[in-house]
Amino acid sequence: GAMSVDSITDLSDNTSKLLEALQLSHPYELDAQRSLGKKKMLSLNPISWQVPRIVDRCCKHIERHGLQTVGIFRVGSSKKRVQQLREEFDQGLDVFLDEHQSVHDVAALLKEFLRDMPDSLIPGELYGAFLSTATMEGPVQLATLQLLLFLLPPCHSDTLHRLLRFLSTVARHAESSWGPDGQEIPGNKMTVANLATIFGPNILQKEKPGEKDAGAMNFEDSAAIILVLQRLIEHHQALFMV
């Protein structure tokens, strides 16, 4: 049967060691690999879940408190409060986000983190390859995207998976619905297309400002980025299934 990448973290220690052993080409490599394991994670099926704390906590906060917030990611935030949160995470403090934090501030913090990563979530060297899938269709497009996702470093792969899962949840609450008592539950208006438009340029970046050939993104690239991220959000479950 198929196994989701993140479900490996739910396995017992013994099973994890078995998985680790199965990834080795020869039995005699096992001891050396175990000693290296503490310094470097295995490149396939990493045993631990490598997602930055700031990403996971921002996603959880919005999932708990912001799914019905209209215009989430589009409404302005307090620059001062966002900067304060950013500094606390940068200092390595154990920052807890609760209901007293503004959803818009947390949303802005998440966008800033993704935008300012030294190497974008989808590494720059894969930018052209990911964009080329925009001209593909159907199963060929999805198969190509999955192969490209396999090339991501474990931390990038895990973080992208967490983010796409989160964006899919936000999009499911875009439309208004009706509660059991007949009361209207407002939608957040953030469809997959809207989310892809906002997050696409933060995740897929060709060059960092000031680097060689850096310049304004052309319209074709911008449209392709949005389309590719839409596909990643819509099909993330299948794409990250081993």
Domain spans of the chain, in order of start = 53-116, 122-207+216-241
More confident residue, 225 or 186: 225
Measured distance CA(52)–CA(158) in Å, rounded: 9
Please name the residue that has the structure tokens 């059991």. 180
For domain 122-207+216-241, which CATH number applies: 1.20.1560.10, 1.10.8.50, 3.60.20.10, 1.10.555.10? 1.10.555.10
- pTM for the full predicted model: 0.75
Measured distance CA(106)–CA(85) in Å, rounded: 8
* Strand runs labelled E in the chain: 177-178, 184-185
Confidence at 44, pLDDT banded by 50, 70, 90: very low
User: Contact 228/134 with Cβ under 8 angstroms?
Assistant: yes
pLDDT at residue 201 tops 80: yes
Measured distance CA(46)–CA(200) in Å, rounded: 26
Measured distance CA(30)–CA(25) in Å, rounded: 9
Fill in the DSSP letter of residue 177: E
Q: Beta strands 184-185 and 177-178: pairing type?
A: antiparallel
Lowest-pLDDT range of 120-124, 168-172, 191-195, 238-242: 238-242
User: Tokens in use for 145?
Assistant: 């995207």
Highest mean pLDDT: which of 25-29, 83-87, 231-235? 231-235
pLDDT at residue 114 tops 90: yes
User: Which of these, 201, 45, 211, lies nearest to 130 by C-alpha position?
Assistant: 201
Measured distance CA(6)–CA(169) in Å, rounded: 17
Measured distance CA(7)–CA(27) in Å, rounded: 25
Fill in the DSSP letter of residue 184: E
User: Tokens in use for 155?
Assistant: 């931390």
Confidence at 48, pLDDT banded by 50, 70, 90: low
Measured distance CA(187)–CA(190) in Å, rounded: 8
* C-beta atoms surrounding 133 within 10 Å: 21
User: Which of these, 144, 117, 129, lies nearest to 224 by C-alpha position?
Assistant: 129
Q: pLDDT (tens digit, 9 = 90+) per residue, 77-107? A: 889 999 999 998 888 878 888 888 899 999 9
User: Contact 131/148 with Cβ under 8 angstroms?
Assistant: no
Amino acid at 63: E
pLDDT at residue 22 tops 60: no
